[in-house]
Every structure is written in C-alpha cells, then in structure tokens.
C-alpha cells in the first residue's frame, strides 16, 4: 500500500489506516482478545501501518489489545490514541493538564510502548482553554512520550488556537459521502495550516457498504440503535444515496465500500481514512480500495450523482451531538 504524510512534521502512514474501536465496542459483541490481536496483525501484514485506538474504547482494553498485537512490530507502525474524558467519573470531556498526563501514562502502559506516535484530544473540553491542552502535549513531546499532536471533532477556531501553540499534525473527524460538512470550513483550514485529515466512519458507519437497509436489525449492543440517522424512517429516506453508490460501483466492477474509500482518497493527498471492521474479508476489501484509481471524469460523475441527495437524521445521539465543537 502506498503511504501519505500527515501534517508538516513528516508523519508517514498507510493511505488507509485501521480504526480499532469496533474490536471492543459499539458494533455489537466485542471480539475475543486473541481474535482482535490476530485481526490487527493481519492488517499490518497486508500493508496497514496506522492503527487508531483510545483510552475510552472499552474503556481501556481496546488499547490493551492494540498494544499486545503491535508489540512485536512496534517500530514499524504508527499508533494513535486519545485522551479527553473523565472516564472513571462523570464521563464528561476533561482535558485538564493533570488528566492528560494521567491518560498518557495509562496509555503507554496498555500500549506496551515508550511513546505515542499521534495523541489526539478526543473532544474539546469547554472548561479547559485549548492553549493549556496544546501546551501540555507540547511538554509531553519534549519529554519524548508523544511524537505528534492531533485533535478530534474540533472546530475551526480551536484548531487555529491550538496550532498557534503547537503544530497540529492531524484532525480526526467524521467524513464520508454520507457526511460532507467538513468540506465547508474544516478542509480549507486544514489545507491552509498544513494539517492532515484522518476521517473516521468513512463508510457512514456501515451504510455505504450497501449491506444495511430499512429492515436491518442491529444487535442490542450496537450503538447505531441510538443514532437518529439509523432510525428506520431515516434509513428509508437515505436509501437513495446507497443505491446510487451501489450503481456506480457496479459499473466500475468494485464494491460500494471501495468506491466510497477511493472517492475519499482522491479528495486530497493528506487524507488517510480509518475504516474499522471485525471481519478479515471486509478488511481486505477496504485495503483493496487503495488500489482503485478514479479519474477526474469518475469524480465528476460521482459528484453529479450524489450532490443533490439530502441525508436525513443526526449522526450522533443528542448527548454526543452536544459535544461537537463548531
């Protein structure tokens, strides 16, 4: 797989990374630890070098699985993790300097490493100035415990303020053919500042794979049960998008997921999506998207076909929607 550079400080990653969250939570039953370890190592063997986790996933034990899986190949991969919640207390965003340091020390132990390649603030903490957050990460970089600073679901103002203290290597936010809001303000600012973009849910939380419809029933522990976008009536309204993606993909003899990922990779050379999965065949399908080349004509066709389709339903439950920084 070819690689891409995020930010201005030389962080090089595989064009497609691996979002590890689903191994331990959110999409139904978690994988047994040994299966999660094997899947992560299978991803590396097939060319993936960027692995994304967070202390809150599980919480905590997703990092443990990632750490166990990557320990033998630690120097060949980029590990990204996140701080930013009061996990053992109220669960609200918490990026006080003391909490950041506590989170980093825990992550280093669970990840079985002496440094975190890319450390994200998971969500903006409105009670802690972003300058204090960036300043604390800057200190951790000076101490060798962190190599690069990232932000997640941050708005333009906070990205600019943080970057003035410490260069932001990457922003992680949702982006896909189903959710294109970042194109309005976020992507232009990232390009201006030289910040890389690591989209999560590049397949619309599974919608763009073409395997979900109005009649699909999610497992009890699947968080999509609480996401308005996946209410049955909204799924019915959003069917037009997936039908369109499926049609164009069939014309090109690729899968809908591959079309969605190839489209994203074609948007900018500093974008590296992190689709997640718990299945090896889906992992291989996603990786194959990096070899799909879309021409300018292909991109124009896709744009013409999908630009007028309105997506129904919020992408988060109300409590999580309120935590988005704009």
Domain boundaries of the chain, sorted by first residue = 3-203+264-292
| Active-site annotation holds for 57 | yes
Give percent of the chain above pLDDT 70: 100
Superfamily of 3-203+264-292 according to CATH:
NADP-dependent oxidoreductase domain (3.20.20.100)
Q: Is 110's pLDDT higher than 80? A: yes
Confidence of residue 247 (pLDDT cuts 50, 70, 90): very high
Fill in the DSSP letter of residue 121: E
Q: Is 271's pLDDT higher than 90? A: yes
pLDDT, averaged across the chain:
97
Looking at residues 280-305, what average pLDDT do you find? Answer: 98
Sheet of 18-19: strand order equals 18-19, 50-52, 78-83, 116-121, 146-152, 168-172, 196-197
The reported pLDDT for the residue numbered 284 is 98
Q: Which two tokens stand for residue 31?
A: 């994988």
The reported pLDDT for the residue numbered 297 is 97
The reported pLDDT for the residue numbered 204 is 97
CA dihedral angle for residue 222, residue 226, residue 230, residue 233, rounded to 10 degrees:
130
pLDDT tens digits, one per residue of 46-92 = 999 999 999 999 999 999 999 999 999 999 999 999 999 999 999 99
pLDDT tens digits, one per residue of 18-52 = 999 999 999 999 999 999 999 999 999 999 999 99
The reported pLDDT for the residue numbered 202 is 98
Confidence of residue 175 (pLDDT cuts 50, 70, 90): very high
The reported pLDDT for the residue numbered 322 is 81
The reported pLDDT for the residue numbered 200 is 98
HSE of 125, CA atoms in CB hemisphere, 13 A: 24
Q: Residue with structure tokens 């090896």?
A: 280
The reported pLDDT for the residue numbered 318 is 84
pLDDT tens digits, one per residue of 131-153 = 999 999 999 999 999 999 999 99
Looking at residues 215-238, what average pLDDT do you find? Answer: 94
Q: Is 155's pLDDT higher than 80? A: yes
**What is the sign, positive or negative, of the torsion defined by CA atoms of 90, 95, 99, 102?**
positive
The set of residues, in sequence order, having a beta carbon less than 8 Å from that of 146 and lying 6+ positions away, is 104, 115, 116, 119, 137, 140
The C-alpha atoms of residue 170 and residue 82 are separated, in whole angstroms, by: 12
The reported pLDDT for the residue numbered 98 is 98
The reported pLDDT for the residue numbered 317 is 83
Looking at residues 167-186, what average pLDDT do you find? Answer: 98
Nearest to 78 by CA among 146, 140, 136: 146
The reported pLDDT for the residue numbered 324 is 86
The reported pLDDT for the residue numbered 170 is 98
CA distances to 111, 127, 229, 275, 281 from 32, rounded to whole Å, are: 18, 37, 29, 20, 18
Q: Is 221's pLDDT higher than 80? A: yes
**Which listed residue (57, 60, 120, 175) is catalytic?**
57
pTM above 0.85, yes or no: yes
Confidence of residue 167 (pLDDT cuts 50, 70, 90): very high
């Amino acid at each position: 797989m070819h690689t891409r550079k995020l930010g201005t400080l030389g962080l090089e990653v595989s064009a497609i990374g691996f979002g590890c969250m689903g191994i331990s939570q959110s999409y139904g039953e978690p994988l047994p630890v040994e299966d999660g370890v094997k899947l992560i190592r299978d991803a590396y063997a097939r060319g993936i070098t960027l692995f994304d986790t967070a202390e809150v996933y599980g919480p905590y034990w997703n990092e443990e699985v990632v750490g166990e899986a990557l320990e033998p190949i630690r120097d060949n991969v980029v590990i990204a993790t996140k701080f930013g919640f009061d996990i053992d207390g109220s669960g609200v965003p918490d990026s006080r300097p003391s909490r950041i340091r506590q989170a980093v020390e825990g992550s280093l132990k669970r990840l079985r490493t002496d440094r975190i390649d890319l450390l994200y603030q998971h969500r903006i903490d409105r009670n802690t100035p972003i300058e204090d957050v960036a300043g604390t990460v800057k200190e951790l970089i000076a101490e060798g415990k962190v190599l690069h600073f990232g932000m997640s679901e941050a708005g333009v103002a906070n990205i600019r303020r943080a970057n003035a203290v410490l260069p932001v290597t990457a922003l992680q936010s949702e982006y896909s053919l189903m959710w294109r809001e970042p194109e309005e303000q976020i992507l232009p600012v990232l390009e201006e500042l030289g910040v890389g973009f690591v989209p999560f849910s590049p397949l619309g939380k599974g919608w763009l794979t073409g395997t979900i419809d109005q009649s699909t029933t999610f497992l009890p522990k699947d968080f999509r049960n609480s996401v308005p976008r996946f209410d049955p009536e909204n799924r019915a309204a959003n069917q037009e998008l997936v039908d369109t993606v499926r049609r164009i993909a069939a014309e090109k003899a690729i899968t809908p997921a591959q079309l969605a990922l190839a489209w994203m990779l074609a948007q900018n050379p500093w974008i590296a999506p992190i689709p997640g999965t718990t299945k090896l065949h889906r992992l291989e399908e996603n990786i194959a998207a990096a070899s799909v080349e879309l021409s300018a004509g292909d991109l124009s066709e896709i744009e013409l076909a999908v630009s007028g389709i309105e997506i129904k339903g919020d992408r988060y439950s109300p409590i999580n929607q309120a935590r988005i920084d704009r």
